[in-house]
Amino acid sequence: MEKMNVNNKIGVKSRNHIRSKQVLFKMTPCCLAISAIFAQQAYAETVTQTAEVSENATQKPVAQLQKIVVTATRTPKNIAEIAGTVQSIDQKQIIQQATAGRKVADILAQLVPSLASSSGTTSNYGQTMRGRNVLVMIDGVSQTGSRDVSRQLNSISPGMIERIEVISGATSIYGSGATGGIINIITKRADTSKPLSFETKVGITSSDTFRSDGLAYEVGQSVSFNKGNIDGFLGANFTSRGSQFDGNGDRISLSPWQGSTMDTDTIDVNGRLNFNLNDTQTLSFGAQYYKDKQDTDYGPDYSYLPTTSKSNDATTPTYKAIKGLKLSNPLFTERYAVNSQYQNQDFLGQILNVEAYYRNEKSRFFPYGLSNKSVTSVNQSQSEIEVAGLRSTMQTDLNIANRDMKITYGLDYDWEKDKQFVDILATQYPYLVYTPTGQRKGYGPNTEIQNIGAFVQSDYAVTDKLNLQAGIRYQYIQADTDAYIPSRETTMVPAGSTHDDKPLFNLGAVYKLTDAQQVYANFSQGFSFPDVQRMLRDVSTYTVSTANLQPITVNSYELGWRLNQDDGLNLGLTGFYNTSDKTVQFNNRAAKVVDTDQRVYGAEATISYPFMENYKVGGTLGYTRGQYKDVANKWHELNSFTVAPVKGTLFAEWDNNEGYGVRVQMQAIKGTNKAYKDDRELAAFATTQDEAFQNAVKNDANSAAQIKGYTTMDVLAHFPAWKGRVDFGVYNVWNRQYRTVFAQQAAVSNANPLLAIPAEGRTYGLSYTFNY
C-alpha cells in the first residue's frame, strides 16, 4: 500500500554530513428461515511450537491446557502461564468464516477484539492493534518490510491456513514492527494420522443482485501423505472475484489509493516436506507462491474533480464505477517464499531450533494523484522487496532454589533490499485510458537494511501459583541507501549509511488464583523505524542531510484477568496503556522524526458461555483511545487510522457435534467525532498564533474524520454431505449501506472524497469441502 503517514522501520542518514549516532527502538426472511431450520500437528513448525485454543471456542480444563503452547512467544508455553493477552483462531473457525472471496483481514476483524476493522480493500493499512502497528508473520517469519506496503494480510488464502495466533501488545521478541502486537499465520501441515489423504473444495459467492459478473468462485485442492519418517503437504487454491455491489445494488468503484479486491484472480500454492531424522531431530522445507491480480473494465468516476488546479467547481463524487478502463499493467501482489527449519531436541542437553528463509515480493498500485481535469499524466508505483534471514533459538531448563527456570536465548539475522519506482502514464479526462510513456523514475532511494538481534528470555516458577517472566533483546541495525534523485528534484542526493543499536526489555508475572483463572501484569517494549524510502522520497538534499530520523520505542503496560472453567465458560478482561515519545511528521515536503509524545489506552473483554447441551453465546468488546501532544504541549485525539473506534461483536451458536451447526454473529462500530472536533479547535487556535506554529500543526489540524458508526450481521451454517460438509453464509444480512472506517478516514487524510467508497451490501456464500 502507498502509505500517507509512516510509523515503521528505520531512519537513514546521508553520508552528506549525517554521522551522529541515533537511538534505536525509538434479519431478512432467509436468515430467519436458516435459524429456524437449525434452531437447533499441533506443531507450529517454527519448529517447536503449537497452539489450539480459540478466542470463542470452549477451552479445555487447565489440566488439558498443559498441552497447549503458543508459537509467537518463541518458546512452548501453557497459555494459562503467559503474562499477556494471547488468542488462537483454529482451523474450524477459519473454515466457518471463510467462503469464496473472503480475506484474512475480514476474518481477523470479526474474531480479534484488539484489532481494528477491515478496510475492505487489498490493504490492511490502518488495521492497527491497541493503536499501534501489527507485525504479521507466516510460520514465524515476518512479512513486514521496511518499505511497508501493508498487504501482509493479503498474502495468503484462508484455505491454506491451519490456525492464526495473536499476541496483543508491544513486543520485540521477533525484532521490529510489533508495537501493537503479533499476528502469526500458521500454514497447513500433513495429516500424520493417514498415509495418504486428499481434500477438495469448491465455492461460490454472490452479491444480492445475483448478477453473473458479481460472482466469486473458489477451487482448492490439497494432498497430504505420511510414510515412514517423511510426511508432506501440498495445496493450491484459486479464487476469481467479480464486481462488488453496495447495499443499494450499485456497482462499487475501486479505491484508487490502496486498491480494491473486486475483479481479481488469486492463486496460492503452499507446500511443506518434513523429515524425522531420528528420535530427536527433524528437518523441514516449506515454500509458497502467491499472486493476486486485478483485471477490471471499470474505473472510478472522476467527474467531481475541478476543471483546473485554480478553479473552484469541484462537486461531490458519485462513487460510480465507469466502464471503459484500459490499464496495461494493473494492480497486483506477487510473492515467492521458501524456508527451511531444523530442530534438535537434545543438542548439548538443550533444544535447538534453526530457521532460514527467503522472500521476494512485488506490489503494484493503481494510478493515483489526479487532482483536476486538466492533468495529462499520472504516476503508477511499484514496490519490490527481497528478504533473507537466519534465526536460531536455544532452550534449556535450570533448577534455581528447587524451582524450575526455563531460559530461551538466540540470535537473529536478516537482510532486506527495497526498491520502489513509478511509471509515468499518459492520460486525460475522464481518466479511463492510461498509456505507458516509457518513462520510469525512482520513488525514494534503493535501500539495504541489515538487522542483528540477540535475546535472552527467562521463565521462573517462584511458587506453585506465581510465575515470573523477564527478558532482554539487543538490536543492531545498519541501513545503506543508494544515490538518488528525489521525486520533485533534479539534484542527485549522495548515497547514505547509518547504524544504531539499543537493548529492549520485558517483565511480566502471572498469578494463579485457582486452577481455572489467573491474573497477569506485563511491561514490554516494542520498536519501529520510519519507512526509509517514504521518508526520503520527496525531500530536498538539504532536508535529507539534516533530517531527524530516529527510530521509535513504544512502552507497553498491561493488566489482565482470565477465567477458563471446565464447564466451557471463558471470560477475559484486559486493560492496557502504551506510550511513545517520537512520531513521523510530514510538512512541506520535509519528513522527519520529531519529539512528540503519544499515549494510547483502553480495555478489551471477551466472553464465551455454553448453555444447555449444544448452544453457546458470547462476544468481544474493544475500546481504545489515543492522544498526542502538540507544539503547545496540549493533548489532542489521534485519528482513526491510528486509533480504532469502539468495536463490539456478539454471536450465538448451535452445534450438535454431528456436523450440523449455525452461527449468528454481529459486529458494531461506534461512531466518533472526538478527533474531528479536536482538529477543528486546533485549527481555529492556530489562526491566532504565529506562522511557525501554524506550519507545525497544519497536518494535524486537518487529519481526522467524523466516523459514522455501523452494525452488520452474518449468518453462517454448515451440515454434513457426502464425504465432507457444506458451508453456507449470508454476510451483511440487513444489506446495510455503509462506509468502512478506513474509507471514511482515507477521504479526509488524503483530502480526496473519492476514497469514501461504500462497502459491500448483502452477499451469499456457498462451499462444499470433501475429504478422501
Tell me the domains of the chain and their CATH numbers.
Answer: 41-672+707-771 (2.40.170.20)
Residue 478's pLDDT is 87
pTM of the model: 0.88
Residue recorded with cell 503519544? 598
Closest CA to 115 of 125, 99, 102, 128: 128
DSSP string, 103-134: -HHHHHHHH-TTBPPP-SBS--TT--BTTB-E
Q: In this structure, are residues 215 and 138 in contact, taking their beta carbons and an 8 Å threshold? A: no
Residue 535's pLDDT is 67
* Pairwise CA distance, residues 390 & 408, whole Å: 17
Cell of 422: 513509478
Classify burial at 259, counting beta carbons within 10 Å of its beta carbon; exposed 0-12, middle 13-18, buried 19 or more.
buried
Residue 48's pLDDT is 35
- The full length of the chain comes to 772
Say if residue 754's pLDDT is above 70. Answer: yes
Say if residue 378's pLDDT is above 70. Answer: yes
479-507 per-residue burial string, b: 16 or more CB within 10 A, e: under 16 = bbbeebebbeeeeebebbebebbbebebe
Cell of 243: 464486481
Residue 729 to residues 122, 239, 664, 713: CA-CA distances in angstroms?
22, 17, 10, 11
Distance of CA 707 to the CA centre of its chain: 21
* Pairwise CA distance, residues 625 & 644, whole Å: 8
Residue 686's pLDDT is 78
Alpha helices for 337-483 (secondary structure H): none
Q: In this structure, are residues 200 and 180 in contact, taking their beta carbons and an 8 Å threshold? A: no
Residue 39's pLDDT is 34
Q: How confident is the model at residue 183 (pLDDT cuts 50, 70, 90)?
A: very high
Angle 272-363-253 from CA coordinates, rounded to 5°: 115
* Pairwise CA distance, residues 555 & 576, whole Å: 11
Alpha helices for 537-673 (secondary structure H): 541-546
Q: In this structure, are residues 535 and 547 in contact, taking their beta carbons and an 8 Å threshold? A: yes
Q: What does the pLDDT look like over 683-714, one tens digit per residue?
A: 787 778 777 667 666 666 668 899 999 999 99
* Pairwise CA distance, residues 450 & 742, whole Å: 33
Cell of 350: 538443550
> In sequence order, what are the beta bridge partners of 241?
216
Residue 681's pLDDT is 84
Q: In this structure, are residues 244 and 761 in contact, taking their beta carbons and an 8 Å threshold? A: no
Mean pLDDT lowest among 288-302, 310-324, 576-590, 610-624? 576-590
Q: How confident is the model at residue 58 (pLDDT cuts 50, 70, 90)?
A: very low
Residue 570's pLDDT is 93
* Pairwise CA distance, residues 76 & 67, whole Å: 9
Say if residue 362's pLDDT is above 60. Answer: yes
Closest CA to 161 of 73, 102, 86, 76: 102
Q: In one letter, which amino acid is 536?
A: L
Closest CA to 235 of 289, 174, 181: 289
Q: What does the pLDDT look like over 631-675, one tens digit per residue?
A: 788 898 999 999 999 999 999 999 998 889 999 999 999 999 999
* Pairwise CA distance, residues 757 & 405, whole Å: 54
Residue 683's pLDDT is 79
Residue 43's pLDDT is 34
Cell of 595: 519529539
* Pairwise CA distance, residues 710 & 647, whole Å: 10
Q: How confident is the model at residue 453 (pLDDT cuts 50, 70, 90)?
A: very high
Say if residue 536's pLDDT is above 60. Answer: yes
Residue recorded with cell 497486483? 332
Residue 697's pLDDT is 67
* Pairwise CA distance, residues 587 & 698, whole Å: 8
Cell of 723: 464425504
Q: Give the HSE-up count for residue 464: Cα atoms under 13 Å, Cβ half-sphere.
A: 2
Cis check: omega of the bond before 306, within 30 degrees of 0: no
Distance of CA 453 to the CA centre of its chain: 23
Say if residue 51's pLDDT is above 80. Answer: no
Q: What does the pLDDT look like over 422-433, one tens digit per residue?
A: 999 999 999 999
Residue 101's pLDDT is 66
Say if residue 236's pLDDT is above 60. Answer: yes
Q: What is the mean pLDDT of the chain?
A: 86
Distance spanning both ends of the chain, measured CA to CA:
40
Residue 21's pLDDT is 37
Q: How confident is the model at residue 383 (pLDDT cuts 50, 70, 90)?
A: very high
Q: In one letter, which amino acid is 597?
A: D
Cell of 452: 542483528
Residue 479's pLDDT is 85
Rg (CA), the chain: 26
Q: Around Cβ 735, how many Cβ atoms within 10 Å?
A: 18
Q: What does the pLDDT look like over 594-631, one tens digit per residue?
A: 568 899 999 999 999 999 889 999 999 999 999 998 87
Give phi and psi for 35, each to the nearest 5: -60, -40
Q: Around Cβ 209, how many Cβ atoms within 10 Å?
A: 16
Q: In one letter, which amino acid is 403?
A: R
Contacts of 369 (CB under 8 A, 6+ apart): 378, 379
Residue 276 to residues 226, 534, 540: CA-CA distances in angstroms?
11, 45, 57
The two beta strands, 598-611 and 615-629, are: antiparallel
Task: Give the residue, 302 or 65, on which the prediction is more confident.
Answer: 302
Q: What does the pLDDT look like over 35-49, one tens digit per residue?
A: 333 333 333 333 333
The dihedral built from the CA positions of residue 637, 638, 643 and 646, taken in this order, carries a sign that is positive
Classify burial at 454, counting beta carbons within 10 Å of its beta carbon; exposed 0-12, middle 13-18, buried 19 or more.
middle
> In sequence order, what are the beta bridge partners of 766?
204, 728
Say if residue 22's pLDDT is above 90. Answer: no
What percent of the chain shows pLDDT beyond 70? 84
* Pairwise CA distance, residues 122 & 149, whole Å: 10
Say if residue 324's pLDDT is above 90. Answer: yes
Q: Which helix (H) or strand (E) holds 729?
A: strand 724-731
Mean pLDDT lowest among 549-553, 584-588, 710-714? 584-588
* Pairwise CA distance, residues 424 & 405, whole Å: 60
Residue recorded with cell 533444544? 351
* Pairwise CA distance, residues 263 & 259, whole Å: 11
Region 123-143 average pLDDT = 92
Q: In this structure, are residues 90 and 55 in contact, taking their beta carbons and an 8 Å threshold? A: no
Contacts of 463 (CB under 8 A, 6+ apart): none
Residue 514's pLDDT is 94
Cell of 752: 480526496
Residue 60's pLDDT is 41
Q: How confident is the model at residue 559 (pLDDT cuts 50, 70, 90)?
A: very high
Q: How confident is the model at residue 585 (pLDDT cuts 50, 70, 90)?
A: low
Contacts of 348 (CB under 8 A, 6+ apart): none
Distance of CA 253 to the CA centre of its chain: 24
Q: Around Cβ 360, how many Cβ atoms within 10 Å?
A: 15
Angle 86-87-93 from CA coordinates, rounded to 5°: 175
Angle 206-211-213 from CA coordinates, rounded to 5°: 90
Closest CA to 65 of 566, 609, 616: 566
Q: How confident is the model at residue 485 (pLDDT cuts 50, 70, 90)?
A: confident
Dump strand ranges (E) for 59-195: 85-89, 134-138, 141-142, 161-168, 181-187
Ramachandran class of 418: left when φ > 0, alpha when ψ lies in -120 to 50, beta otherwise: beta
Cell of 374: 486538466
Contacts of 450 (CB under 8 A, 6+ apart): 413, 414, 415, 416, 477, 478, 479
* Pairwise CA distance, residues 260 & 127, whole Å: 15
